[in-house]
Amino acid sequence: MSVLGLGRMGTALAGALLGAGHDVSVWNRSPLKAGPLLDRGARLAATPEEAATADVVVSCLSTYDSQQPVLAAASPKVLVNLTSGTPEQARGVAKWAASEGIEYVDGVIMAVPQGIGTPEARILYSGSEPVFEAQRGVLEVLGEPVFLGEDAGLAALYDLALLGMMWSSMGGYLHALALVGTEGITPERFTPMALGWHAAVGGFLTGIGTQVASGDYETDVSALDINAAGLALLVETSRAQGIGTAVPAALKELFDRAVASGHGSHAIASVIEEIR
- Note the pLDDT tens digit of each residue in 30-72: 998 999 999 999 999 999 999 999 999 999 999 999 999 999 9
CA distances from 113 to 25, 94, 149, 221, 243 (A): 19, 25, 25, 41, 34
pLDDT in tens, 88-128: 999 999 999 999 999 999 999 999 999 999 989 999 999 99
Q: Which strands form 2-4's sheet, in the order they lie side by side?
A: 43-44, 25-27, 2-4, 57-59, 78-81, 103-109, 122-127, 144-147
Distance CA 14, CA 82 (A): 12
Mean pLDDT score across all residues of the chain: 96
- Give the pLDDT band of residue 211 (cuts 50, 70, 90): very high
Average pLDDT rounded to a whole number, residues 156-170: 97
Neighbours of 215 (CB within 10 A): 10
Asked if residues 153 and 87 have their Cβ atoms less than 8 Å apart, the reply is yes
CB-side neighbour CA atoms (13 Å) of 103: 13
The three state secondary structure string of the chain is CEEECCCHHHHHHHHHHHHCCCCCEEECCCHHHHHHHHHCCCEECCCHHHHCCCCCEEECCCCHHHHHHHHHHHCCCEEEECCCCCHHHHHHHHHHHHHCCCEEEEEEECCCHHHCCCCCCEEEEEECHHHHHHCHHHHHHHCEEEECCCCCCHHHHHHHHHHHHHHHHHHHHHHHHHHHHCCCCCHHHHHHHHHHHHHHHHCCHHHHHHHHHHCCCCCCCCCHHHHHHHHHHHHHHHHHCCCCCHHHHHHHHHHHHHHHHHHCCCCHHHHHHHHC
Q: Which residues pair with 25 in a beta bridge?
A: 2, 43
CA distances from 229 to 43, 71, 107, 222 (A): 61, 52, 41, 12
| pTM of the model as a whole | 0.93
Distance CA 41, CA 134 (A): 25
Distance CA 101, CA 96 (A): 9
CATH architecture of the domain with range 2-152: 3-Layer(aba) Sandwich (3.40)
Q: What is the pLDDT of residue 6?
A: 96
Domain locations in the chain? 2-152, 158-275
Given a cut of 90, is residue 75 above it in pLDDT? no
Q: Cα 109–113–114 angle (5° rounding)?
A: 130
CATH architecture of the domain with range 158-275: Orthogonal Bundle (1.10)
